[in-house]
Structure 1
Amino acid sequence: MSKKEQQATGTNKEFNRRKIHRYIRADFKTLQGRITIGFLLIGFFAIIMLLSSHFIWKNQLKKSRNLIALNKNSATRSAEIQQLVDLTTILTFRYISTQDDFFPKDIEKRWNKDINAKLDELDSLTQKLGNDEVILYVTKLTEHLPKIRATQQEALEQQSTEVLNSEETINDIIHLTFLSTSLKDKLNQLEAQVLAEIEATKDRIPYILGVEFIISLIVSTLIALFIIQTVLRRIKYLKVKIREMSEGNLPEELPHSQDELNSIIKALNELVRNLKGITHFAEEVGKGQFDTEITVFENQGHLGESLAEMRTKLQNVAEQDKRRVWFNEGVAKFGDILRKNNDNIEDLSAKLISELVNYTNSNQGSIFIVDNQDERNIKLVLKGAYAYQRQKYVEKELAPGQGLVGQAYLERDHIYLSEIPEEYISIRSGLGEAPPTHLLISPMKLNDEIFGIIELASFKPFEPYHIEFIEKVGESIASTIQGLQVSLETKSLLEESQMKAEQLQAQEEEMRQNAEELEATQEEMERQGREIGAFKNAISQSAMIFEMEQDGSITSANPVAESKTKFTSDDLINKQFSLLDSNFITDLPEKVLPALQANESFKKIDKISRKDGTTFEAYFDYMPIVDENQQMKKIMCMALELP
């Protein structure tokens, strides 16, 4: 080959290399190269996916083999159950013919330890299979076995082979054989299906894997080439627009695209809007318009955060000045109201609540005053209510802890709710009725003492400075209320002292009459005590009195009992009361104890046996002896001899 031909060949190779390098660059220095490597990795991952698919297929085959093992074990358990049932039938015949007690025990053992255990194993295996027909056969088998068991037990009890040879028993055995055979056939059918599926899957795996590999490689390569050209074309377009912006020219918004670079276009358009917004922002701040909603870079980044912080600080300064003026003017206004209306608490409450509702732009309000004249029955009395520029006249009293107002009284702190319970309060106007969305309940405190509660409801939220203002005004109101209460209490004490002087004179007369009545009552009680003592003495001298445990064993007997029955105390102690009353054995559990446990007595007329064997008729009265917890601990019997 000549030198020119070699140079031409080298030139062609260089041209082909550059042409190939134009579309495919495997390096990380350029976006093109990174995308190329990324899509080559896609092909690599595709191979891994195919290998993992192959691994999954292998696992599927393993699971199928496990199902076959379950089928075989289930068939084995079914056959063993059939054999064991046949064996128990044979053992039943043997027992009837030999009368050997070994066979019933062996039959019971076979059923309890062998047949039921294998039936449980069969049920567990078929549940794992999850085939409805197989589960149905096992269920029928489980329901049918108790019938055969019952037939065998009947034959054992009657010792008759006729029960085992009856047509019904033979049909049960045949049906058991049918169920076992059907179950086995169905398991064989399932096993055949699984084997067929395994073979079919095994044959398809190589072809599927090969096709997936080829398709993944071709598609990944084509997509990589297409994306590379598209991205390069879009990047050149964006480069031109960015250069224009770097020169200080703000272009119009770039048209959106459907590719991955659309996010860059959106960012550039947002940058243009933010740069225009900076100019507008500076103009508005220069005019003192701090409330205008201006967002530059969405208030993010160094520039956006700095501009937003500057506007926020200017807004806060203006807002704080406005709130300070509102707060101070309000305190002065309500201080003037308290000075001019400090002679009547009802009129003062009505004036205060109407002004508070209007000054705080609330929609409804009320004032509760604490009535603690009776320390055991403290009440919160509604003294003023106002809604929609109209005075409301209602009467209402609350106890501490009752409702939110009572809860604020106990907690001694304000309650602010932005979610008011349903039906707690409603605001009515000419346009209808609606529940408020915000509720403020604040105690009126002075020196840590609660003098009343202010309740305000509004459709707008209460800010912290609103709450601080209400608490401040509440202190002034509490101070005025304290002065009114001291004045009213002084007046009330004067009236009360006059009234008590009159009552004291009336009480002296009443006490004199009560003393005379008390003296007459004491004389009557002494007379009744003497009568009761005489009655008890008469009873103890004429009645037989026994004490016994709840099981009827005698613990004590009085002398009258010993005299009447001729038994000594040693003869009776620790003996059953049935020694005297022969019917007591049945009366104690059926009649005596139920009545006494219900805290009632049991009475009867029956005969009492003497020591010499003779009897006499007596009236019995059984009564419970209870402890300090009113629980019966012993039984007392009082018996009177009848003539």
Structure 2
Amino acid sequence: MLRTRLGIRGKILLGFVALIIFFIINVIFIFRTINNSREIVTGLFEDKDQSVILLNDFKDLVLRSKMYTLNWVFQRKDEEGKTILKEIHTEEYPVMKANFEKYADIWGSKEQYNEISKILLNFEFLKDSQEDIMKKLASFSDYDDFVIKSEAEDILETSVIPQSNKILAQIDQLLQLKKQEKQIARQNILNSFDNLSTGLIFSLGIVVLIGLGMSFFAANKITQPIQNLKVLIDALGRGEQPKLVEKISNDEIGDMSKSVNQLITGLNATSQFAEDIGRGNFDSSFTPLSARDVLGNALMEMRDNLKKVAEEDKKRYWANEGNALFSDMLRRYNTSVNELANHLMAALVKFVRANQGSFFIVNDDLKDDIHLQLISCYAWNKQKFIKKRVDLGEGSVGQAWIEKDVIFLTDIPNNYIQITSGLGESNPRCIMILPLIFNDEVFGVIELASFNVFEKHEIDFLKKLAENIASSVSIIKNNERTKHLLTESQLMSEQLRTQEEEMRQNLEELMAVQDELQRKVKDYEQELNEYKIRHAKGNGVMAG
């Protein structure tokens, strides 16, 4: 029986075929591991995040309904709050309930969905109690009825507040459960990447063994090239990142060196990229080996999806941080528009990374001279004290006032506004002008200039913030107007008291003068009578 002769080329080729087959098997294993990780990550960042968002939104709805119910009972003139409470019952809650039913499959277990059903049922009871209060205090006259007011307060204390607290506790319990689920999912991701690392190490070990076998087999004929390949493969087996083969011969061994180089590059890049994703570094760069690189393209797709989720979370966190910051500021500085404007512009310019901000307030002290007055200007971490007046329709600021609409400019004319920095003076890249509108009335205008063009989520945030600022300015101006009227009333009362006192003193003086005149008249009459008597006696003596 003749034995088939296998030359060096064939033997080396056979060895590399075995190596490639094993590498393909290993790639399939890694691909499956990455797919499993992607499914876990998708569930973590989509389903669980969606459920957490729904729970947080519902928690916010319960808190607002509780707050506006309190306002309904104790602030009869809060018409805006009453309208919002009605909208919560008729619009927001039905949408919220529909969302819970729409995403029923994201809760993971029937027990969680049953708990959501209980929470919704409890809110129905809470809504009934709130509507009972709304019916009892439906008009201003109801607040003056002691019995009705007492009944409403009793419902608030015994039903609305306890039910609200119970629902909030149930929501917090579910949020804690979702947090635990997220931690478990994260651990599953880490386990998947551990399996991936183990597979890579195992594959590298097999590569080392095959390389060593081929080196010993062909040592007598191709010693040095094979020895170089062996050194590289040994380094891979130790987990190192060896240098690529620099001298590549123009033969079969050269082709092998090219393949090993490609293997080293691919394994190093894949391992590094997988580790970066595991650490949460979604900005790590990675280039697939080719357009048909299934593993590389799968890693790229997973990285892009995770990066997109992380960016959305970052924007959401930024907006929530801004809402908390400026809501606290609006509550804290609620007595003076100037004080509010100074603190607000200092914080706003820094928060949106603008370079300059101006706060204009509508000055309507004189009805025939209504204009915008600059009350605060903040630029480059310094507050500017500048007096400036803008009439209706004057410039972009006046145009935003008259149109009651936001103006966003990116094509800035020369000399429109100059921003001074350490590099000199230059035009900004964008201008955003926000009218402060509340109840269809403009109370002021905010102008922001920046070297950076505002992104969409920043613009949306600024528009919403402008509405809140307008509401606060409206309240402050009403309070100031009321205080001014009270002061004028007190001054008028004091003037009337002073005039009354002066009139009383004058009357007393007149009465004293009258008494003196009457006394003098009596004296004159008495002297006249005495004179007549003496004169009559004198005439009688003369006649005798």
TM-score normalised according to structure 2 size = 0.39
TM-score normalised according to structure 1 size = 0.33
* Higher RCO (C-alpha under 8 Å, 6+ residues apart): 2
Q: Going by fraction, where is strand more abundant, 1 or 2?
A: 1
**Bigger Rg over Cα:** 1
